[in-house]
Amino acid sequence: MKKTSYKELGLVNTKQMFAKAIKGGYAIPAFNFNTMEQMQAIVQAAVETKSPVIMQVSKGARKYANPTILRYMAQGAVEYAKELGCKKPQIVLHLDHGDSFETCKSCIDSGFSSVMIDGSSLPFAENIKLTKKVVNYAHKQKDYVTVEAELGVLAGVEDEVSAAESHYTKPEEVVEFATKTGCDSLAISIGTSHGAYKFKPEQCTRDPKTGKLIPPPLAFDVLKAIEKKLPGFPIVLHGSSSVPQEEVDTINKYGGKLPDAVGIPEEQLRKAAKSAVCKINIDSDSRLAMTAAVRKHFAEHPDHFDPRQYLTPARENMKKMYIHKIMKVLGSNDKL
């Protein structure tokens, strides 16, 4: 594939988007996508709510859907948004959890407007070195590509990224890290976690009325300390699906088996969105919305076998979830 700049595809980077979000006290939704239905649902939701949006591609998505196809889908997303009536869509194509300089470079060269280099499992000095290498390459492009870095380790499993335990970001390291690497935003660990099982039952308390798990609160003191050290610097929260109970219940009702799936309460994400947290990553919720709709459809229509019959309600349910996140959790609606 010939080298392409994201501007040729109609995409934008995160620079101005994040600056506006910090000033305005809201966060930009970062939704992962692997399929056409997810892409359509994300674009429809963003256009209807007049929200900027970050479309994220993980290593697993690149393997599943093919990097070239995903790149053209993002270009299609921009044109689709215009067709739906959005004159100037603000869509970022972002690499989620880039694990090497080579992966980041290949995404930048193919037209990504933003990349994440995740060196969080490396020793501090090595994380700085790797992040700086990616930053140098991204920033010297004809069109400036933004770079997200990560400091601190999130627990949980997500597309080949896994860690058994989390380590909160150390506020005293953030200034040195941000200054030495030149990164544009920083993903921190304050108790969010990857996947639909974000916490073990023993980390939670149970609601005596419903028997449902209540997760431990996020470490807002760590976030505050980081904001103090890096005033106005864009902060990112990964692993921030709230694992809606109604979707989990629907999945379990129609033959699924997701006991004790638990996520981050939305009121905590709302609180984070009002701070310097200007990008919140949501992936599992979209998977749950899609799966719940498909399971329900098959239970009610056992004679159906045309994928369009069950993927239409799946797309609708994801779109409903995306609109809810934009308007009720992140506050990024009416910002275009």
Predicted confidence (pLDDT) per residue in 174-184, tens digit: 999 999 999 99
Q: State pTM to two decimals.
A: 0.95
How many angstroms separate the CA atoms of 30 and 119, rounded? 20
Domains of the chain: 6-328 (3.20.20.70)
Q: What is the pLDDT of residues 29-78, one digit of tens each?
A: 999 999 999 999 999 999 999 999 999 999 999 999 999 999 999 999 99
Rg (CA), the chain: 19
Closest CA to 130 of 108, 100, 171: 100
Half-sphere exposure at residue 220, Cβ-oriented, CA atoms within 13 angstroms: 11
Catalytic positions: 96
Tell which phi-psi region holds residue 100, choosing left (phi > 0), alpha (psi between -120 and 50) or beta: beta
38: left (phi over 0), alpha (psi -120 to 50) or beta: alpha
**Banded model confidence at residue 162, pLDDT cuts 50, 70, 90:** low
Q: What is the pLDDT of residue 286?
A: 98
DSSP string, 226-261: HHHHSTT--EEE-S-----HHHHHHHHHTT---TT-
List pLDDT tens digits, range 93-141: 999 999 999 999 999 999 999 999 999 989 999 999 999 999 999 999 9
Q: Quick: pLDDT tens for 290-335.
A: 999 999 999 999 999 999 999 999 999 999 999 999 999 999 999 9
**pLDDT of res. 212:** 86
Q: Which of 164-168, 229-233, 309-313 has the lowest mean pLDDT?
A: 164-168
Cα–Cα distance measured from residue 334 to residue 316, given in angstroms and rounded to the nearest whole number: 21
For residue 158, name the pLDDT band (cuts at 50, 70, 90): low
How far apart CA 311 and CA 301 sit, in angstroms, is: 13
Label residues 22-51 b or e (16+ Cβ within 10 Å = b): beeebbbbbbbbbbebbbbbbbbbbbbbeb
pLDDT band at 163 (very low <50, low <70, confident <90, very high): low
Residues facing 264 on adjacent strands: none
- Quick one: what percent of the chain has pLDDT higher than 90? 86
- For 313, the token pair is 């309600």
Distances (CA, A) of 217 to 202, 203, 220, 263: 14, 10, 8, 11
Which residues does residue 214 pair with via DSSP β-bridges, in sequence order? 205
